Amino acid sequence: MRLTPISTAATPETQRDALAAPVHDPLWLLARQWQTRGFLADDAGSPVRVQLSSVTAPLRAGGPAGEPMAAVEPWVEAEPRPQIDDLDHRALVALASELCRRLRDAAAPVRAAWTAAFPFTPSAPAPTIVPFVGRIPDPRPLYHLLAPALGSDGQGGSMPALPGVDPAHAAGVERACRGWIAWLADRLAPAGQDAGNAPGAWDPQRLEYRFRLGAVLPDAAVALPADEYDGSGVEWYTFDRSALVPGAGSGEHPQSLEVRPAPVTYPGMPRPRFWELEDGDVNLDALAATDPAHAVLTSFAHLYANDWFLVPLSVAPGVSTITSLDVTDTFGSTTAVLAVAAVDGGKGPWRLWELTSADPDPAPGAGMRLLVPPTPRPLAGEVLEDVLVVRDELANLAWMVERLTRDASGEPVDRIQRHLQLRPPGDPAFDPGDRPEERQQYRLGTTVPDNWYPLLSSADAGGRPLLTLAALPPGAVGVSDDGVQGTLVPHLPGTSIADEEVPREGAHITRQDRLLPGGDGVVVWRSRTKSPGLGEASSGLRFDVLE
């Protein structure tokens, strides 16, 4: 509480005296405390002991029946491991180099023979790949030979016959090959399991992830659906909670804790004692002068600051609920403090940090919190693909604009620069001012860059509006996009995006590699992120033009 006397002082000197808090004799000190209601008796005691019970259930992948998980992001975001035949040249070079190094470690000089027998000769290699052409063995035929013979983990079967293997080096070659196949097991999909490149949780129509986790509480199981995860890091607000399934609980007892509460403190908090000096770094009153919201905030901070207490609690990641909190005061009486959610049965307005219930009756499990595993922000690599989905109100279309994609060698391709370099010289967009006026000509439509793909308004069987990837008529694109097409939005007939996912500001989807500690060292995965776009855009597409 803060004393704000209304001063009747007239002169600066008396004003200063009125604002001062001088210290005189003991009676003076007592008098000031009496004036500031420091001796006013309340019918209550100070809290001295808190008994707290809480339950925490680890998160489980896929639902309550799933396995407990350590980190959510790699599980959700990771694209499936690729087939070796789908790898770009750069990745193939890395695999072949590692095989050569393992052969070198094993002192097995077969690189030259294998390079001659399985030469690496990709079509149209990038300049960075050219030095490897014909100088390293192609890992694809070797993998197709070795993996079936040695098993997917490299530990079974026997070595197939390979050229150039001297009997003196056969053991070293076998050791190197088995190690290489085992190493590849974590990086490649097993043969015959082509899951495409989209993560299992990826919703191609919404361009975001949709998945669910679960948890098993002592008395019930709960599913935690996440319908709109954009790939920017899992948080508690990523999830809702579905109806609890009673009877499917683990039966564990809540964790109990008995501690002394400590008053909540924060910078700028008014001190309860009259002569106690306050921190001058944060002046809450400076905020109160401007508008009602600031004033309300400041009043709250001044009036109720010393009625809040804090109890430390160490919680394992997962779904957490405080089952009881009993406060014992100095007079020995015990008061149960209920969570607001327990009082209103979860039917009140939305509250921070509480999971929203999809159950019509939110009372069971009200007040449930979710503490995500404390995985740090992952290391992120360069952007591999960059796609904008934009509205074009002038052309009455939406466009998917591939700004950055990868070619067959895995090298980045700036698509607009490529278009500018490759567009035909007859493109009227080159020098519109240089065209002679008497040579005006009628054109059915103007051309658009090859990295702009039209999305036409359509609807699914249920009438839900969609934007469907369409093809431009022949001649409308002067540059071919063969070999550099992106993969974030597949270039397949019927590919569509939900209309509401392309708002006025558009959507921006990127793809990049991420790395976190985990497993036997690190976990690397290829993820996708959706963020707001850059606003509307115009392709310049016009029909029936005379130019």
Q: Pick out residues in 343-372 that bind other proteins (CB under 8 A).
A: 349-353, 371-372
Binding to other proteins by residue 251, rule CB under 8 A?
A: no
Within 92-121, which residues bind other proteins (CB under 8 A)? Answer: 93-94, 97-98, 100-102, 104-105
3-class SS of residue 469: strand
- The span from the first CA to the last CA of the chain, in angstroms, equals 78
> Shortest distance, CB of residue 124 to other proteins, whole angstroms?
14
170-185 vs 89-105: helix axis angle to the nearest 10?
140
Taking CB under 8 A as the binding criterion, the range among 149-157, 195-203, 437-445, 516-524 that sits at the site for other proteins is 516-524
Within 40-59, which residues bind other proteins (CB under 8 A)? Answer: 40-42, 44-47, 50, 52
Of 264 and 534, the one with the shorter C-beta distance to other proteins is: 264
Taking CB under 8 A as the binding criterion, the range among 133-141, 156-164, 468-476, 488-496 that sits at the site for other proteins is 133-141
- Kindly tell me which residue out of 60, 302, 391, 511 binds other proteins, with binding defined by CB under 8 A: 391
- Kindly tell me which residue out of 306, 323, 446, 487 binds other proteins, with binding defined by CB under 8 A: 306
Binding to other proteins by residue 429, rule CB under 8 A?
A: no
Of 313 and 471, the one with the shorter C-beta distance to other proteins is: 313
Across the chain, which distance is largest between two alpha carbons, in Å? Answer: 109
Q: Measure CA 422 to chain center.
A: 36
Q: Whole-angstrom Cα distance, residue 138 to residue 118?
A: 5
Instruction: Please state, in angstroms and as integers, the Cα–Cα distance from residue 291 to each residue in 296, 297, 305, 421, 448, following that order.
Output: 9, 10, 21, 56, 51
Residue closest to 264 by CA, chosen among 274, 273, 272: 272
- State the number of binding residues for other proteins (CB under 8 A): 123
- Exposed / middle / buried, residue 451 (Cβ in 10 Å: 0-12, 13-18, 19+): buried
3-class SS of residue 471: coil
Tell the residue number behind the tokens 């065209």, with chain if given: 435
Within 261-290, which residues bind other proteins (CB under 8 A)? Answer: 261, 264, 266-268, 272-275, 281-282, 284, 286-287, 290
Tell the residue number behind the tokens 């070659």, with chain if given: 173
Binding to other proteins by residue 439, rule CB under 8 A?
A: no
Residue closest to 452 by CA, chosen among 547, 540, 542: 540
Binding to other proteins by residue 373, rule CB under 8 A?
A: yes
> Shortest distance, CB of residue 330 to other proteins, whole angstroms?
9
- Kindly tell me which residue out of 236, 285, 324, 445 binds other proteins, with binding defined by CB under 8 A: 236
- Kindly tell me which residue out of 304, 361, 417, 440 binds other proteins, with binding defined by CB under 8 A: 304
- Kindly tell me which residue out of 99, 223, 400, 524 binds other proteins, with binding defined by CB under 8 A: 524
- Exposed / middle / buried, residue 94 (Cβ in 10 Å: 0-12, 13-18, 19+): middle
Contacts of residue 509, Cβ cutoff 8 Å, sequence gap at least 6: 207, 385, 386, 387, 388, 389, 488, 489, 528, 529, 530
Binding to other proteins by residue 88, rule CB under 8 A?
A: no
Extract the tokens encoding 143: 């993998």
Binding to other proteins by residue 297, rule CB under 8 A?
A: yes
Within 169-198, which residues bind other proteins (CB under 8 A)? Answer: 179, 183
> Shortest distance, CB of residue 52 to other proteins, whole angstroms?
6
- Exposed / middle / buried, residue 176 (Cβ in 10 Å: 0-12, 13-18, 19+): buried
Binding to other proteins by residue 5, rule CB under 8 A?
A: no
